């Protein structure tokens, strides 16, 4: 799209054509000035600084926690940023609960998780990892994506910018451990990578309760040695390995594969499944050293195999380190990776002790001749007055355009998913974005699976009838009482219906800004595990629950206060396979305050100690309108 402003930029150099001998030369001269439609212009701004620390660990895996704890024990001040609402993502999100033969429990952390012959529960994994951070003074936040990196005057890593439902915030530090799955933070620093080549990629995905499945893309079936026992119920668990051709390494391509896998495996007996795919990326960061095989124990791996060759003050603790793909698959499994994390945490802490903190760091800009699609609006305020540490400059930059649609729905609760289904049914090119890994929001993932009041005709009746029709009337999981539905059935009906009518769906996407021009919203800014980008759309439907996108675009709003003194109670309840209703009311929480949300998940683990797991979303209502 060539805007009037862009046209003036081009015609301003028109006088130069007189001195250019050919049209090809003229085109070559103009090309650098023409805007790149793959990027959206973002004006300069200031990002609130919420913390200064020695080391930032980005990622919520068990290996990330092991590194953070080891560094803290070595004297570092450490801040960990977790993008999910829980820790142990490779174990809990990808269902890597089983130890493989030969995996020795070399660390105290791994022994606390895998201390017995039985499979650890998700609650055990999450609580052990969380307690390890708290007991060692490691600060952390849940539900926060890294979106940018801070650099000092030499261009070296000096901090990160994160996005969550509170907005965006900066954390200043001396060094970074990038424990993300695809070395996202190293990518922000333009660390050199091996080139991506289209080709086949293997993915693992686990389901609980299902009958065995077959599909042409399945190349391996791995049943658990023991069934999963929850109370008196027993469930078969199977990990499947799929092989798909990958045209590119975009988040859209990854989500397309995930949705195809979910569709091929689901049946009405399923009570749980992976939140995330497990895979070893085809690419890796080019590090100072490269290891093809393990010459002995993990101690034999040099720190340089985790240090990017082209950038400083950052280490890669993930599958994209300087390892062969076969070695990465072996050492990034939870048990060995916790030992590796401990070793790297100790070594990095020793290096960090010799570094100084840069107080003039700025946000690294993305250099591109970006298109002027509109103004990027977002929430940029300190999390709390007492946490304010000043501001960090973010110069004018560019955001990648992730897609263009007729309708984009931000938020996949029952309302948002239904809006997406309706738009797609009318022939609109539709994308539904959801941060969690299922649709239905509080009505499914929040375990509020029973109607209280309201009109049950119209589309509600269509939805209810469709959910119950997913299995025979005598299916043992079908509730006997009216108005009750298996949560996972409803999640799947919404997902399948959206895809069947031509809609697209991305899980793991968080709305963190709006793109608007002249009082009209033109798209939204989203954060994913791959970073931050823009999705352009003719229509944006804000189904976040607290008007996150509308407020970012500049809409006025009211917040809980003197005009609305009564504050509805909230909860964060237990969950086990097969549950659909575990409503509770024992706390107050503002779901737009990431500190409040993180605190709620910590408190809930103590309140629900001994339970199988927790819900992944606080049971609350909006605090602003």
Same domain as 226, residue 102: no
Same domain as 543, residue 445: yes
Domain with residue 546: its CATH number is 3.50.50.60
Same domain as 405, residue 304: no
pLDDT of residue 567: 63
Instruction: Give the range of the structural domain holding residue 13, as residue numbers without chain letter.
Output: 1-34
Cα–Cα distance for residue pair 317/89, rounded to 1 Å: 14
* Token pair 């608007």: residue: 516
596 versus 387: which is more confidently predicted?
Answer: 596
* Token pair 């103004």: residue: 375
For residue range 183-209, list pLDDT tens digits in order.
999 999 999 999 999 999 999 999 999
Same domain as 543, residue 418: yes
Range name among 330-344, 350-364, 448-462, 507-521 with the lowest pLDDT average? 448-462
Which token pair is 7? Answer: 């046209």
Range name among 204-218, 313-327, 338-352, 581-595 with the lowest pLDDT average? 581-595
Percent of the chain with pLDDT over 90: 81
pLDDT of residue 13: 32
**596-604 contact pairs (CB < 8 A, 24+):** 597/85, 597/142, 597/143, 597/165, 598/140, 598/141, 598/142, 598/143, 600/570, 600/572, 601/85, 601/86, 601/142, 601/572, 602/130, 602/134, 603/572, 604/572, 604/573
Same domain as 315, residue 265: no
pLDDT of residue 610: 93
Range name among 138-152, 169-183, 384-398, 416-430 with the lowest pLDDT average? 384-398
pTM: 0.93
Range name among 4-13, 231-240, 511-520 with the lowest pLDDT average? 4-13
pLDDT bin (cut points 50, 70, 90) of residue 570 is: confident
24 has a pLDDT exceeding 60: no
Q: Once rounded to an integer, what is the mean pLDDT over residues 143-169?
A: 97
Question: With contact defined as beta carbons under 8 Å apart, do 140 and 79 qualify?
Answer: yes
Pairing mode, strands 78-81 and 139-141:
parallel
Same domain as 329, residue 237: no
**Residue 596 domain flag:** no
**Residue 337 domain flag:** yes
pLDDT of residue 323: 98
* Token pair 């907005």: residue: 167
pLDDT of residue 252: 97
Question: Of 297, 326, 353, which marks where a domain is finished?
Answer: 353
- Within 13 Å of residue 523, how many CA atoms lie on the same side as its CB? 22
**Residue 388 domain flag:** no
- With vertex at residue 144, the alpha carbon angle to CA 142 and CA 147, rounded to the nearest 5 degrees, is 160
Same domain as 314, residue 168: yes
Same domain as 336, residue 313: yes
* CA neighbor of 83 nearest in space, from 61, 63, 67: 61
Same domain as 424, residue 311: no
Range name among 66-75, 78-87, 550-559 with the lowest pLDDT average? 550-559
Same domain as 125, residue 84: yes
Question: Of 502, 522, 553, which marks where a domain is finished?
Answer: 553
Q: How many domains does the chain have?
A: 4
pLDDT bin (cut points 50, 70, 90) of residue 356 is: very high
DSSP category for residue 559: B
Same domain as 82, residue 214: no
Same domain as 180, residue 51: yes
């Amino acid at each position: 799209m060539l805007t009037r402003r862009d046209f003036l930029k081009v015609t301003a150099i028109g006088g130069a054509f007189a001195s250019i001998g050919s049209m090809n030369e003229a085109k070559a001269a103009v090309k650098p000035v023409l805007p790149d439609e793959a990027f959206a212009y973002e004006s300069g701004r200031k990002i609130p600084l919420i913390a200064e620390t020695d080391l930032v660990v980005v990622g919520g895996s068990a290996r990330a926690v092991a590194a953070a704890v080891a560094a803290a024990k070595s004297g570092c001040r450490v801040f960990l940023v977790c993008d999910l609402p829980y820790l142990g993502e490779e174990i809990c999100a990808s269902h890597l609960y089983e130890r493989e033969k030969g995996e020795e429990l070399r660390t105290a952390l791994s022994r606390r998780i895998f201390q017995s012959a039985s499979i650890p529960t998700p609650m055990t994994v999450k609580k052990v990892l969380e307690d390890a951070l708290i007991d060692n003074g490691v600060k952390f936040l849940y539900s926060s994506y890294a979106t940018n990196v801070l650099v000092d005057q030499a261009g070296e890593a000096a901090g990160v910018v994160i996005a969550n439902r509170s907005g965006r915030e900066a954390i200043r530090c001396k060094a970074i451990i990038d424990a993300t799955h695809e070395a996202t933070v190293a990518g922000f620093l333009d660390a050199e990578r091996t080139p991506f080549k289209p080709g086949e990629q293997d993915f693992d995905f686990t389901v609980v309760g299902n009958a065995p499945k077959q599909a042409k893309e399945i190349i391996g079936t791995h049943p658990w040695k023991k069934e999963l026992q929850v109370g008196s119920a027993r469930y078969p668990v199977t990990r499947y390995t799929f092989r798909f051709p990958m045209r590119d390494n975009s988040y859209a391509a990854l989500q397309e594969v995930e949705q195809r896998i979910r569709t091929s495996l689901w049946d009405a007996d399923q009570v749980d499944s992976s939140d995330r795919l497990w895979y070893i990326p085809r690419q890796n960061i080019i590090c100072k050293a490269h290891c093809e095989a393990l010459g002995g124990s993990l101690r034999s791996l040099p720190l340089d195999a985790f240090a990017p060759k082209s950038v400083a003050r950052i280490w890669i603790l993930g599958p994209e380190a300087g390892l062969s793909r076969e070695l990465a698959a072996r050492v990034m499994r939870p048990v060995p990776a916790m030992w590796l994390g401990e070793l790297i945490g100790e070594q990095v802490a020793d290096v960090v002790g010799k570094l100084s903190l840069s107080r003039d760091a700025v946000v690294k800009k993305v250099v591109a001749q970006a298109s002027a699609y509109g103004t990027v609006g977002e929430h940029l305020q300190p999390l709390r007055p007492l946490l304010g540490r000043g501001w960090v400059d973010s110069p004018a930059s560019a955001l990648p355009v992730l897609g263009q649609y007729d309708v984009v729905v931000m938020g996949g609760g029952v309302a948002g998913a239904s809006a997406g289904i309706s738009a797609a049914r009318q022939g609109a090119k539709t994308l539904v974005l959801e941060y969690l890994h299922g649709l239905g929001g509080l009505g499914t993932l929040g375990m509020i699976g029973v109607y209280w009041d309201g009109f049950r005709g119209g589309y509600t009746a269509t939805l209810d009838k469709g959910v119950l029709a997913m299995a025979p009337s005598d299916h043992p999981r079908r509730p006997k009482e009216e108005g009750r539905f298996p949560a996972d059935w409803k999640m799947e009906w919404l997902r399948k219906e959206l895809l069947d009518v031509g809609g697209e769906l991305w899980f793991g996407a968080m709305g963190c800004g709006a793109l608007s021009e002249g009082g009209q919203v033109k798209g939204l800014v989203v954060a994913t595990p791959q970073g931050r980008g823009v999705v352009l759309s003719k229509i944006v439907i804000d189904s976040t629950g607290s008007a996150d996108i509308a407020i970012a675009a500049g809409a006025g709003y009211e917040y809980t206060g003197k005009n609305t003194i009564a504050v509805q109670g909230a909860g964060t309840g237990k969950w086990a396979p097969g549950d659909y209703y575990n409503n509770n009311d024992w706390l107050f929480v503002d779901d737009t305050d990431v500190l409040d949300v993180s605190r709620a998940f910590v408190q809930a683990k103590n309140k629900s100690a001994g339970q199988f797991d927790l819900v992944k979303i606080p049971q609350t209502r909006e605090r602003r309108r």
